[in-house]
């Protein structure tokens, strides 16, 4: 018990002490999460929107595929990206393997289906009168979709937050394509894995605390946003 409580205590101290390893991993995790979430949502939200608002042949298959991709093992995605980016792979010439861009790429592949599936569910749940009302009041194609998105904004925001959470918490793919290189491709999650395997429970907990704090901050911001815009 002493080991556990001492570890927690030291972890909290380390997290607050400005340990350079903790700071570097935090900044990288945040940077990867922000960039991946932006790109994943830029792809996933329009795709989800299209699937959710249109009737077309293969719609059910598209939704099934998206939902399957939600449960896609992250290490497999990491492995595929590794295969593409490795020196002898088809994209090996780009020299991206073991850089933070490789992690971003893997996270995009993992988070875009999350954004797409949740967006499709969100817009499918929107009252069909919203679209008709916008159209009958004279809205064009983009304005009509914008109006639907506005009515679904909380659900869409949740899609963004879940995508962000998926990226922030992901470890398998980041480890494989990033290589867990100190101050270079070491994210908070890969750092936790390494510190644990080295037996440094306190350091692992320090990274863990920062991860939780990041997740908490994003969710508090979401709550504040929802509270203010509630009408």
Partner 1 sequence: MIDLKGIDHKYGSNTVLGIESLTLKPGTITGLVGPNGSGKSTLLRILALLERPDNGEISIDGTPIVTSAQRRRSRRGITLVEQRPFLFAGDVRSNMAYGLQRRRIDKGEAEKRILESLETLGITHLLERRVKALSEGERQQVAIARAVSLEPDILLLDEPTSAADRRATNVIYTALESQRSKGVTICFASHELENAYRFSNNLLSLAHGRIVPTTPENIFRVDLPNGHGSKTVQLNELSIQVVTEKEGPATIAISPDDFLVSTEPFQSSARNQFPGRVTSLSDDGHDRVTLVVNAGPEFVVRLTPTAVKDLSISLGSEVFLSVKAVAVRVH
Region binding partner 1 by CB under 8 A among candidate stretches 18-26, 52-60, 97-105, 122-130: 122-130
Residue 136 engages partner 1 in binding (rule: CB under 8 A): yes
Only one residue has tokens 């639907």, namely 148
Q: How many CA atoms lie within 13 A of 213 on its CB side?
A: 14
134 versus 214: smaller Cβ distance to partner 1: 134
Provide the H-helix boundaries in 54-171.
59-70, 74-85, 100-124, 128-136, 141-151, 153-169
151 versus 170: smaller Cβ distance to partner 1: 151
2 versus 231: smaller Cβ distance to partner 1: 231
Binding mask 138-167 for partner 1 (x = CB under 8 A): xxxx-x---x--xx----------------
Residue 127 engages partner 1 in binding (rule: CB under 8 A): yes
Total number of residues that touch partner 1 (CB under 8 A): 18
Q: Exposed e or buried b for every residue in 52-80, given b needs 16+ CB within 10 A?
A: bbeeeeeeeebbeebeebeeeebeebbbb
110 versus 134: smaller Cβ distance to partner 1: 134
Out of 4, 27, 67, 129, name the contact with partner 1 by CB under 8 A.
129
Residue 227 engages partner 1 in binding (rule: CB under 8 A): no
Q: Which of 162, 178, 32 is nearest to 108 (CA)?
A: 32
- The overall longest dimension of the chain from CA atoms, in Å, is 68
Residue 226 engages partner 1 in binding (rule: CB under 8 A): no
What's the chain's Rg over C-alpha atoms? 20
Cβ 148 to partner 1 shortest distance, Å: 11
Dist. CA 62–CA 196, nearest whole Å? 40
> Residues in the site for partner 1, rule: CB under 8 A?
127, 129-130, 132-141, 143, 147, 150-151, 231
């Amino acid at each position: 018990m002493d080991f556990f409580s001492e570890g927690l205590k030291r972890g909290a101290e380390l997290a607050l002490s400005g340990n350079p390893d903790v700071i570097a991993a935090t900044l990288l995790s945040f940077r990867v999460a922000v960039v991946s979430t932006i790109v994943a949502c830029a792809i996933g939200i329009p795709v989800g929107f299209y699937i959710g608002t249109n009737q077309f042949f293969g719609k059910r298959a598209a939704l099934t595929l998206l939902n399957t991709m939600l449960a896609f093992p992250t290490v497999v995605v990491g492995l595929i990206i590794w295969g593409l980016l490795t020196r002898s792979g088809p994209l090996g010439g780009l020299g991206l393997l073991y850089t933070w861009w490789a992690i971003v790429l893997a996270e995009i592949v993992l988070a875009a289906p999350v954004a797409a599936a949740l967006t499709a569910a969100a817009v499918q749940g929107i009252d069909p009168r919203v679209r008709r009302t916008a159209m009958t009041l004279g809205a064009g194609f983009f304005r009509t979709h914008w109006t639907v998105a506005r009515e679904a904004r909380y659900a869409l925001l949740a899609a963004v937050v879940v995508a962000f959470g998926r990226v922030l918490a992901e470890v398998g793919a980041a480890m494989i394509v990033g290589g867990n290189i100190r101050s270079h491709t070491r994210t908070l999650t890969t750092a936790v894995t390494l510190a644990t395997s080295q037996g440094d429970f306190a350091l692992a907990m320090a990274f863990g605390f920062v991860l939780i704090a990041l997740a908490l901050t994003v969710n508090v911001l979401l709550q504040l946003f929802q509270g203010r815009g509630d009408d």
